């Protein structure tokens, strides 16, 4: 609860997530701090995820925390690179990859074979697949509040 | 010298093919293991169900974690040095969802193996050069490194069942 209050108060200060180093929130959170994606990008990627899940006939993970984290990862890359590069990969050159496009969500493996190793879009036969194709902004915020 | 790497389990990997269908198929096969081995011991049945149903705390790293997070220097030193037990390195990224599930599984593994295995995790953004040298691509990636430096290391990509990890440690290390 305390963490959440601190996090929300730091947003209220109005430090843009892109430019604030770790920001005012970070030194109270334990871990090494990463910049939070902007609310706008999170909302965009949230909507995209819902639409694409419906369109592709895939479902979110039973554990919506996984979904939330990936959506935030996509938003973070959208903020920093201009494109939602897959957050579940390591890249030698992120801007180049974002420009090239293979791993921009929805990535080629997903578009061609419905393979999403981020576990964002899961085919119904996948053990981790839930029954939902929707996720609210609140769910995302709650699941990632301690990050 | 860095350990010799080879794809050992479950199928061969060619490092020289970037973004290849081969790599993606391998990732798919790692996932499809879950659907084809419903009756065999697998993480969903061996993990308490509530682990998956609760929203995760979302933290990869807690002070009381058994699997410690290392810096670039620390992990390089560890890999270069000697050890008596298998070393497991977990490469993760901040916003990688499956990496959180992997971290939970690794904690269980750390409890099971105690001092018989050394499990550490590294943020690929922090250990950029090390991740590049180890040719890390998909996340999470695990490296299982033998105490015997003559043996090849084993590498896995994606969320793998805990039983597979036990098998690697028990049989391959």
Q: How far apart are CA A110 and CA B35, in angstroms?
A: 18
Q: CA–CA distance from B128 to each of A105, B76, B122, B169 (Å)? A: 22, 12, 10, 26
CB contact under 8 A, A87 and B93: yes
Enumerate residues 6+ apart whose C-beta is below 8 A from B160: B30, B33, B142
Nearest by CB to residue B100, choosing from A69, A74, A142, is: A69
Interval A83-102: pLDDT, tens: 999 999 999 999 999 999 99
CB contact under 8 A, B97 and A61: yes
Q: Above pLDDT 90, what percent of chain A?
A: 73
Q: How many CB atoms lie within 10 A of CB A19?
A: 8
CA dihedral of residues A89, A94, A98, A104 (deg, nearest 10): 10
Q: Could you tell me the pLDDT band of residue A137, with boundaries at 50, 70 and 90?
A: very high
Chain A contact set for B157 (CB, 8 A): 117
Q: Could you tell me the pLDDT band of residue A40, with boundaries at 50, 70 and 90?
A: very high
Q: How high is the pLDDT of residue A3?
A: 39
Enumerate residues 6+ apart whose C-beta is below 8 A from A123: A57, A58, A59, A114, A129
CB contact under 8 A, A65 and B100: yes
Select the more confidently predicted residue: A96 or B17. A96
Q: How far apart are CA B1 and CA B76, in angstroms?
A: 10
Chain A contact set for B42 (CB, 8 A): 127
CB contact under 8 A, A63 and B136: no
Q: How far apart are CA B40 and CA A84, in angstroms?
A: 37
Q: What is the ipTM of this complex?
A: 0.75
CA distance A146 to chain B (A): 6
Q: How high is the pLDDT of residue A82?
A: 96
Average pLDDT over residues A37-60: 97
Q: What is the pTM of this model?
A: 0.72
Average pLDDT over residues B115-135: 94
Nearest by CB to residue A118, choosing from B61, B91, B96, is: B96
CA distance A103 to chain B (A): 9
- Dihedral pair phi/psi, residue A51, rounded to 5°: -65, -45
Task: Give the catalytic positions of B in this structure.
Answer: 96, 99
CB contact under 8 A, A118 and B99: no
Q: Up-side HSE of residue A38: CA atoms within 13 Å toward CB? A: 17
Select the more confidently predicted residue: B80 or A123. A123
Task: Give the catalytic positions of A in this structure.
Answer: 88
Enumerate residues 6+ apart whose C-beta is below 8 A from B148: none
CA distance B29 to chain A (A): 10
Chain B contact set for A125 (CB, 8 A): 35
Q: How high is the pLDDT of residue A64?
A: 96
The answer to whether A109 faces chain B, any CB pair under 8 Å, is: yes
CA distance A12 to chain B (A): 22
Q: How high is the pLDDT of residue A8?
A: 40
Q: Could you tell me the pLDDT band of residue B12, with boundaries at 50, 70 and 90?
A: very low
């Amino acid at each position: 609860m305390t963490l959440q209050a601190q996090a929300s108060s730091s947003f209220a200060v109005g430090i843009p997530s892109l430019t604030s180093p770790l920001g005012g929130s970070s030194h109270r959170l334990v871990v090494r701090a990463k910049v939070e994606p902007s609310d706008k990008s999170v909302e965009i990627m949230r909507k995209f995820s819902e639409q694409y899940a419906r369109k592709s006939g895939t479902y979110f993970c039973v554990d919506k925390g996984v979904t939330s984290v990936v959506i935030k990862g996509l938003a973070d890359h959208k903020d920093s690179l201009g494109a939602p590069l897959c957050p579940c990969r390591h890249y030698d050159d992120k801007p180049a990859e974002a420009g090239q496009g293979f791993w921009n969500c929805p990535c080629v493996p997903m578009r061609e074979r419905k393979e999403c190793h981020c576990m964002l879009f899961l085919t119904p036969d996948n053990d981790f697949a839930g029954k939902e194709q929707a996720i609210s902004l609140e769910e995302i915020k709650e699941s990632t509040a301690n990050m | 010298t860095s350990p010799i790497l080879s794809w050992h389990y479950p199928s061969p990997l060619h490092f020289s093919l970037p973004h290849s269908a081969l790599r993606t198929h391998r990732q798919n096969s790692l996932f499809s293991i879950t659907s084809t081995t419903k009756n065999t011991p697998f993480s969903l049945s061996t993990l308490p169900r509530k682990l998956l149903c609760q929203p995760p705390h979302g933290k990869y790293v807690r002070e009381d974690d058994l699997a410690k997070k290392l810096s670039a220097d620390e992990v390089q030193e560890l890999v270069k040095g000697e050890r008596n037990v298998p070393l497991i390195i977990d490469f993760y990224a901040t916003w990688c969802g499956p990496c959180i599930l992997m971290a939970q599984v690794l904690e269980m593994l750390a409890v099971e193996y105690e001092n018989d295995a050394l499990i550490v995790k590294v943020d690929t953004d922090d250990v950029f050069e090390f991740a590049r040298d180890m040719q890390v691509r998909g996340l999470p990636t695990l490296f299982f490194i033998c105490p015997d430096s003559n043996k090849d290391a084993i590498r896995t990509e994606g969320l793998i069942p805990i039983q597979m990890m036990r098998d690697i440690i028990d049989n391959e290390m």
